[in-house]
Structure 1
Amino acid sequence: MSMTTGTQTWVAAGPAGTVGSIHRDGEGFLVRVRVQSEARGPYPTLEAAKRALHAALGPGAERPDFREH
């Protein structure tokens, strides 16, 4: 029996709309910030990826709301 790991996506939304996303691929999480072309990561946990995306938004940015998509 072989196991297949599916992908999961969380969309990050702030007061101005969608600001980025987190993608689970295998054992790690990749972060994509809407205004940047390169993905960041991989991060070992979803919580670490959420913190990284929030930090990438810059000083004073509100923590976005994360929803699985």
Structure 2
Amino acid sequence: MMTTHTRRLYVAYGPNGAVGSIREVDDGSWAVTMSGAEAPIGQYPSLDIAKNALTSHLRPGSARPEFREH
């Protein structure tokens, strides 16, 4: 029997569109990439921590983005 694992992807949306993404990687951690960046800013052990990390990289005073699973 073959087992497949679907990795999850979340896109963060601010008032002007997508601001970044969070994707599940092989070891169960989450990689955060800001829009326009070529490489992730880091990997985090949980989705909640990854969401906080992405939010902390936005401009000061920015509202928390809306995260949508894709």
Q: Which TM class, normalised by the smaller chain length?
A: 0.7 to 0.9
Give CA deviations for 1:8-39 in whole Å, capped at 9, x if unaligned: 10010010111111001121000010032220
Alignment of 1:1-69 (within 5 A): 3-26=3-26, 27-69=28-70
Aligned-CA RMSD value: 1.5
**Deviation by residue 1:21-67 (Cα, 9 ceiling, x = unmatched):** 10011210000100322202210000000000001112111100001
Task: Give the Cα separation in 2 of the matches to 1:11 and 1:45.
Answer: 16
TM-score (norm 1): 0.87
Q: Between Structure 1 and Structure 2, how many residues are aligned?
A: 69
Matched-pair contact (CA < 8 Å) for 1:6–1:25: no
Which ranges of structure 1 fall in alignment gaps of 5 or more residues? none
What's the % identity of the aligned pairs? 42
